[in-house]
Structure formats: C-alpha cells, structure tokens
Amino acid sequence: MAQSHIHTEADLDAGLRALGLTDPRFAELISEAGRPPLRRRPDGFAGLAAIVVAQQLSTASANAIWGRLAASFDPLDPAAILRARPARLARLGLSRPKIRALKKIARAVERGELALAALGEAAAEEAHTALTAVHGIGPWTADIYLLSCLGHADAWPAGDLALQEAARIAFGLKTRPTAKKLQAMAEPWRPWRAVAARILWSYYRAVASAKSVRSKGRPVRRRKPVHKKKRTTRSRA
C-alpha cells in the first residue's frame, strides 16, 4: 500500500513510478517536461497564511505582499494577526477579504477550533473537512495546504485554474475542465493524485516557457498533447 505522505524526493520518486504504471500518459508527460520538483512549503499558521495571501494574485505580487507581511511580524503567528489593526494589514497590501480571512483563521487556531498540528496525521479528507469548516478557508486553499505544506500524497486541488489548463493541454481536451470534471478525471490516479498534480503543473510551466520562447522568435520543438490513455496496470505500491 502506498504511503499517505510525500515528504522526501524518494517519496516523490515512488509516487512517480506508481502513477506511471497506473496511467502511462504521465510517463510521457515527464519525458516531455522533466521530473517535477517536490516544492514543499512550511506548515502551520504561517504556511496557511501564505497560501491565503497568494490567492488570485500573480507570483510576483504575492511574494511582494508576503515579504512585507513576514518582515512586519516576527513571529507571524495567530496572536500577532489578531492584534494587528486592519489598517496596518491593508498598508502591507492585503485586501479586506484576506484580512478578514486571516483574522478568522487566527481566531480559530487560538481557540483550538482548528488544530493545525494534528492535520498532518489525519486522513486527507478529514483534514480537508477540518480546514474548510473555518470561514476564510475554501477548498482550493485547503487542497494546496494539504499538498504543499503537509505533503498528503492524494491531495487534489481540482479548483486550481493552472491545473485545469494543464489537463486541457496535456490530454488534448477541447475546453478547460471544470473542477467537477477534473475531480472525476483524477479518480483512477488515487492514491497519488498529488503526484499527478505536480506532473501536470510541471508540464504546464514547460508549455508556457515554450510559448515565451516562440514569442521571441526562436524556434522550439512543439509539444504534443497526450491524447489516448494506454492500457494500464494497477500499481501495487
């Protein structure tokens, strides 16, 4: 039985092998885009807050705001956010909805309503339910926290737009799949859906990079979508 978490590069390699046996299309995507990175983030309140800050922002904007926030509060913990005046947080670049979300999350952690330390040992579905029960934590935030901060092997952020677009390109879909469709599409990839997400994100970055090169007038090898699902062998890992 596969391990429930991906903490190391060796864990990721095990997942890549198992997923490649379950669906050989992923092996083809890796051959096109290369091995995906592990990309782990710190867990706890600061890790969750960083994901909230990054919602619906470019990487550059999110990093800039997070840099100001982290520099202003040391440590960046629930008590500090609860003490901070909304006007001060707004000057750092946070929108009013994100300020409200961070304060709600901080209050839930302080009151013991959200036990972040225990989520790492909980099943992915249980941890997801606990996170989304807190006002300000939506499904996307919960899924990204489970995948990148806690390393849950089967976390699947179906609502992520980049992941949806990656699936459209990689599998030659006519339109970008909805979260519901992407959720159904990923069922055969259990218990390694977080590995599938890493592969697809990596492929999407490679495609975006190739487009950037073409826009500058340099010829590049055209990447082809992986259309057909080959006969699979269920992994016993």
CA 12-13-16 angle, to 5 degrees, is: 85
Query: Does residue 23 contact residue 142 with C-beta atoms inside 8 Å?
Result: no
Whether 13 is in a domain gets the answer yes
Q: Which of 123, 149, 175 is the last residue of a domain?
A: 149
- Residue 168 sits in the same domain as residue 182: yes
- Residue 13 sits in the same domain as residue 67: no
Sequence letter at residue 162: A
Whether 91 is in a domain gets the answer yes
Q: In which domain, by residue range, is 121 found?
A: 44-149
Return the pLDDT at 186.
Answer: 97
Q: What is the CATH number of the domain that holds 53?
A: 1.10.340.30
Distance, in Å, from the CA atom of 230 to the CA atom of 202, rounded to the nearest integer, reads 21
Question: For 167-213, how does the pLDDT look when each residue is reduced to its tens digit (9 = 90+)?
Answer: 999 999 999 999 999 999 999 999 999 999 999 999 999 988 777 66
For residue 9, count CB atoms less than 10 angstroms from its CB and return exposed for 0-12, middle for 13-18, buried for 19 or more. exposed
Domain total in the chain: 2
Is the pTM of the predicted complex or chain greater than 0.95?
Answer: no
Return the pLDDT at 192.
Answer: 96
Distance, in Å, from the CA atom of 53 to the CA atom of 97, rounded to the nearest integer, reads 10
- Residue 137 sits in the same domain as residue 49: yes
Query: Does residue 45 contact residue 130 with C-beta atoms inside 8 Å?
Result: no
Secondary structure (3-state) at 116: helix
Question: For 113-123, how does the pLDDT look when each residue is reduced to its tens digit (9 = 90+)?
Answer: 999 999 988 98
- Stretches where the chain sits below pLDDT 70 are 1-3, 212-237
Q: Which of 127, 149, 171 is the last residue of a domain?
A: 149
Q: What is the CATH number of the domain that holds 16?
A: 1.10.1670.40
- Residue 134 sits in the same domain as residue 99: yes
Return the pLDDT at 158.
Answer: 96
Distance, in Å, from the CA atom of 68 to the CA atom of 13, rounded to the nearest integer, reads 36
